Structure 1
């Protein structure tokens, strides 16, 4: 008789169901076996695991039933994200076909996403759902709006300002519809003429939004200046720090972070932690250091308790964030007596490859 082959997948505890089969032994912090590998879960056991502070576990399944495309997410957000995506998709599609559209008619779907982000704060789940979409410009717009909304909240802005910043993030790139798609999707280096067209997209975005009846100067400046940089190296005007609107500074951080953590036609994505490190490297010349630091601390706080993959092939759990070096946390590998704690400030050859 042939032996049944099993594989394992890490599954967030909030999405575990009755009948899921545990793919690992679960130990208490004192090394006592709590649940053995192969245990079939039920609601009581799932509640017990959650009470122990366990965020995610390995679930066992037979290889013939494996679905590598499974994504676990909060269904409460799904319709709002879908509506916002369709709104952005419609706006971009119409504009790319050189037709006119009333952006105002789709505004409420975008505002709903901003409000959901503000009220739930569950940015990792929202971003995970956004990332399943194929069109880069559409999902980038949604993600930047989401990151900008939460960053503005972390910075202490009031509700009205946060909504303006979130909406600016959602609409910041619609001016790319004035640039030929072959340039937007080009994998090779752009020539001077092509770069000049790309560098004008913030101006195009500003003009389209203003033409559509958006007259809030904070919103318009956030969109027009989101590619300006503190050292004057940005575009389209080469403004320096004192002349860049603070809302644009927020969009710049959100825009840079999502661009680095997403595959594009011209480059592969970086891990979330590596992207945060790159933001910090830019914090004292190109980006606002206070805004970057708040974003790094906020995002690493969201990663606290998450399962991560390390570059040495091991999986672990983020258990402590250093205040002075938030991108080099302490990671626990294993549980019980077999657990070991890796302080990534000192484990120079080990880095976080990805956070799940």
Structure 2
């Protein structure tokens, strides 16, 4: 299958992967045939890219990091508990569910079990086939990214459960922010930005005394917008004042935000988001943490169409975990634009003089 911009899809193409709603329920099954009306509707709903069936790449399989069962359970718990907090707004007293910590603890166990059983250790791009409520899906994505990065770093299971919970609940404070501000498509005013920034402190207050939620997970909510140079919020603390887990979550939170469709901009590709992260090394993020993230992320996702420095055009069909920045590309077109009938592959981890020079049709209109 191939990953292509939704706006480049044409009627008659068939989905290579299912499309899910914000609850993790399948809305469109794989093999569903696209019509122009459906393509337009998916664009309106914020699906910028689709996995499409393609004869030349029929053998390319995209592994999901977690099972459908785990996704549905996680999104259901996030939605139910976050909604409960929203609906309590304005009441004199909010009695949190005594089962919130236990419910999210069970979710984390399912996520860690799924991640343990994955064949590929690489962190793959999420979000390409989800019609999402940004807050719910982003929370799950950050949890998955943070847990996988923690695995790569070498944390034990208890530590992974804590940092994973920190990722899952890092934005819970946004349930206390006016939803009109959260969903606003245009630029925020200074007052609105100040209001949104309160979510870090709100999240800490919601979690710090919650049974079965580690205090360090609450600190992840509190500190995930703090930065090394003190330019972050809510307290403007620096470097060693920021907890290690919050530093990891700051990186994956930024990465997922950049690689996810937002009302005011299209999603970036991983290699573009990685460039932004590296631009912040030393001031916003620790170099060793961003470098570890880079070394464990498939910055050119499977199915992506790329142009090589030789002029040849092809699709990423395999990723070498040892050097994920140099995938194997199946060449579909020669440099002169001639389409091939006999396809061949170039392993960039072996052919070091060749590199990806362009990612086709991404983020342009």
TM-score of the superposed pair, with normalisation by structure 2 = 0.68
User: Which has the higher relative contact order, 1 or 2, with Cα contacts under 8 A spaced 6 or more apart?
Assistant: 2
In structure 2, relative to structure 1, the CA distance for the partners of 1:223 and 1:260 (3 Å cut) is same
Contact 1:227 1:235 in 2 (8 A): yes
Alignment-derived partner of residue 339 in structure 1: 344
Contact 2:226 2:235 in 1 (8 A): yes
Shift of 1:123: 8.0
Q: 2:69 aligns with which of 65, 79, 84?
A: 79
Matches of 1:344 and 1:261, distance apart in 2:
28
Matches of 1:126 and 1:108, distance apart in 2:
24
In structure 2, relative to structure 1, the CA distance for the partners of 1:337 and 1:227 (3 Å cut) is same
In structure 2, relative to structure 1, the CA distance for the partners of 1:130 and 1:159 (3 Å cut) is farther
Contact 2:300 2:327 in 1 (8 A): no
Contact 2:122 2:297 in 1 (8 A): no
Alignment-derived partner of residue 120 in structure 1: 117
Structure 2: state its 5+ residue gaps: 1-10, 18-30, 32-51, 333-339
Partner of 2:298: helix, strand, or coil?
helix
Matches of 1:254 and 1:317, distance apart in 2:
23
Per-residue displacement from partner, 1:104-161 (whole Å, max 9, x unpaired)? 2522442234323441346889975795142110000000001000001101111110
Per-residue displacement from partner, 1:241-266 (whole Å, max 9, x unpaired)? 12111000111111111101111123
Structure 1: state its 5+ residue gaps: 1-5, 13-19, 21-55, 61-70
Does 2:159 correspond to 1:157? no
Higher Cα Rg: structure 1 or 2?
A: 1
Per-residue displacement from partner, 1:251-284 (whole Å, max 9, x unpaired)? 1111111101111123221112211222222223
Per-residue displacement from partner, 1:276-319 (whole Å, max 9, x unpaired)? 2222222232112111111111112895xx33212689432255
Q: Which stretch shows the higher mean deviation, 106-115 or 133-142?
A: 106-115
Partner of 1:259: helix, strand, or coil?
helix
Q: 1:95 aligns with which of 85, 100, 110?
A: 85
Alignment-derived partner of residue 351 in structure 1: 359
Per-residue displacement from partner, 1:189-217 (whole Å, max 9, x unpaired)? 22222111111111111110124235633
Higher fraction of helix = 1
Q: Which stretch shows the higher mean deviation, 294-303 or 127-136?
A: 127-136
Contact 1:118 1:153 in 2 (8 A): no
Count residues in correspondence: 294
RMSD of aligned Cα (Å): 3.8
Partner of 2:293: helix, strand, or coil?
helix
In structure 2, relative to structure 1, the CA distance for the partners of 1:129 and 1:237 (3 Å cut) is closer
Partner of 1:350: helix, strand, or coil?
strand
Alignment-derived partner of residue 293 in structure 1: 291
Matches of 2:353 and 2:168, distance apart in 1:
36
Alignment-derived partner of residue 174 in structure 1: 172
Partner of 1:262: helix, strand, or coil?
coil
Contact 2:66 2:114 in 1 (8 A): no
In structure 2, relative to structure 1, the CA distance for the partners of 1:124 and 1:158 (3 Å cut) is closer
